Amino acid sequence: MTEADIYEKLREKISSWPIRVPRTKEVLKMLRILFTEKEAEFLTHFTAPYQDPETYDRIVEKTGKTQQEVQAIIDRLVSRGLLFRFKSKRDGNVYYSLMPMIPGIFEFYLSSGRDSDEKREVGALFEKFYMGGGGLEGGASNYPWARVIPIEKTITVNKKISSGHRILPFEKMSEFIKTSRKIAVMNCACRTKKKCDHPLETCLVFDYSAEFMVERGFGRYLNVEEALELLEEMEKAGLVHSTINTQTKPQFICNCCTCSCLILRGLTELHNPRAIAKSNFLPQRDNELCSKCRKCVSICPMEANIYHASHDSEPERIILLKERCIGCGLCAYHCPKNAIELVKVKDETPEMTPREAFIRVEAERIH
């Protein structure tokens, strides 16, 4: 194969995942920066991302390379966050897996190590790719791959509005996190690529992903209580909790802003309603308690709370634009008068596991 053929074949392999990677000049340039020609050819021997991971011996057999060559390539790729490695809890073997661009290479590469000219160049290329149409791949299905998870302490069930509804375990952060065995925190790849004033060490990863980042020195373990404390710090900073659209095994919890983060920017900049699944909750305001301080207006990342000044016979009030609201709970959390609470208004239930979720993402793909 020619060099161009090798990189195109690698792109096709990485793209054999529900969040695909269209063939653009930015993508091909990124691949040439991230992978040497030898590394790219090596990775074309793998199957689809996260599917059928390979043992070291099997990789040697499939690639036809010497053990020394394979070990050197593996070590280099793993150290840079470009090849996933994990030790199976089922059989104790170490496996290696090709990663998709998202969630995978983008997060693990940009969050690994210090800033560099190479990372800045890759980040700039990714931003062009994202704004040039690549970002729409994150919302190419009627089943969004990510969803908003509300701030737990702000949710309630209001009998008048939410009769028959109940809060399910996946809607409570404390219960959702407990479905994983390992938790780690790492830097936000989005803010590494596109810097803003929000905190950087904000992203939670779980199980094999947690082990992958901690073992390589780019994450630190947390227990459940520490994770919940970190999430509260993110709530104070005005960040939105987002996670994979499942009931269990969260894989990640991002704490997103609209300045930098790919998921929320899918709504605010790409105007794609399928970019993320909204929570099952909406804020309800007690107008008697509301002081019209406008804190909910300033904290809302989606500009869903609008101040309405009094005029003629209309009173001063805050208006909720329900079509913009994602049900994150930031307005309720930050209300100084406790005039807002989240009430459950629907019972949409996601798939149980990440595997089931991504199968459905692909099945309901619309473009």
Indicate if 10 and 106 belong to the same structural domain.
Answer: yes
- Residue 158 in domain: no
pLDDT at 46 over 50: yes
Which stretch of 39-53, 211-225, 305-319 has the lowest confidence by average pLDDT?
A: 305-319
Is residue 351 located within the same domain as residue 334? Answer: no
- CATH number of the domain enclosing 302: 3.30.70.20
101 found inside a domain? yes
Specify if 248 maps to a domain: yes
List, in order, residues 6 or more apart from 342 with CB less than 8 Å away.
150, 151, 154, 155, 156, 279, 281, 282, 283, 284, 327, 329, 332
Residue 271 forms part of a structural domain: yes
Q: Sign (positive/negative) of CA torsion 223, 227, 228, 232?
A: positive
pLDDT score of 187: 96
Are 226 and 353 found together in one domain?
yes
pLDDT tens for 179-222 read 999 999 999 999 999 999 999 999 999 999 999 999 999 999 99
pLDDT at position 162 over 80: no
Task: Please report whether residue 159 resides in a domain.
Answer: no
Q: What digits encode the pLDDT tens for the residues 105-127?
A: 999 999 988 889 999 999 999 99
Phi-psi domain of 329 (left: phi exceeds 0; alpha: psi -120 through 50; beta: other): left
Q: Are residues 220 and 357 in the same domain?
A: yes
Q: What is the pLDDT of residue 236?
A: 97
What distance in Å separates the CA atoms of residue 25 and residue 7, rounded to the nearest whole number? 12
Q: State mean pLDDT over 13-32.
A: 96
Residue 175 belongs to a domain: yes
CATH number at residue 61: 1.10.10.10
More confident residue, 312 or 344: 344
In this prediction, residue 170 carries a pLDDT of 87
Task: Report if residue 42 sits inside a domain.
Answer: yes
Spatial separation of the C-alpha atoms in residues 208 and 183, rounded to whole Å: 9
Give the model's confidence band at 159: pLDDT under 50 very low, under 70 low, under 90 confident, else very high: very low
Q: Cα separation of 334 and 286, whole Å?
A: 14
The arithmetic mean of pLDDT across residues 359-366, rounded, is 96
Q: Which helix (H) or strand (E) holds 7?
A: helix 3-14
| Whether residue 18 is found in the same domain as residue 84 | yes
**Are residues 207 and 355 part of one domain?**
yes
Average pLDDT, whole number, for the chain? 93
Q: Which residue range forms the structural domain that includes residue 322?
A: 281-344
pLDDT of 165: 62
Residues 217 and 263 in one domain: yes
Total structural domains in the chain? 3
Q: Are residues 262 and 229 in the same domain?
A: yes
Q: Does the pLDDT value for residue 1 go beyond 90?
A: no
Pair (330, 351) in one structural domain: no
- The answer to whether the beta carbons of residues 170 and 248 sit under 8 Å apart is yes
pLDDT for 161 equals 46
Task: Name the least confident of 119-128, 170-179, 255-264.
Answer: 170-179
At residue 145 the predicted structure's pLDDT band, cuts being 50, 70 and 90, is: very high
Residue 157 pLDDT > 80:
no
Mean pLDDT of 343-361: 94
Q: Examine the pLDDT at 6 and tell me if it is beyond 50.
A: yes
Do 292 and 145 lie in one domain? The reply is no
Query: 52 pLDDT exceeds 90?
Result: no
With the C-alpha atoms ordered 256, 176, 110, 39, is the resulting torsion angle positive or negative?
negative
Domain assignment present for 157: no
Region 26-30 average pLDDT: 97
pLDDT at residue number 185: 98
User: Do 307 and 223 lie in a common domain?
Assistant: no
> Could you tell me if 108 and 173 lie in one domain?
no
Indicate the pLDDT class of residue 312, thresholds 50, 70 and 90.
confident
Residue 367 predicted with pLDDT over 80:
no
At 317 the pLDDT is 87
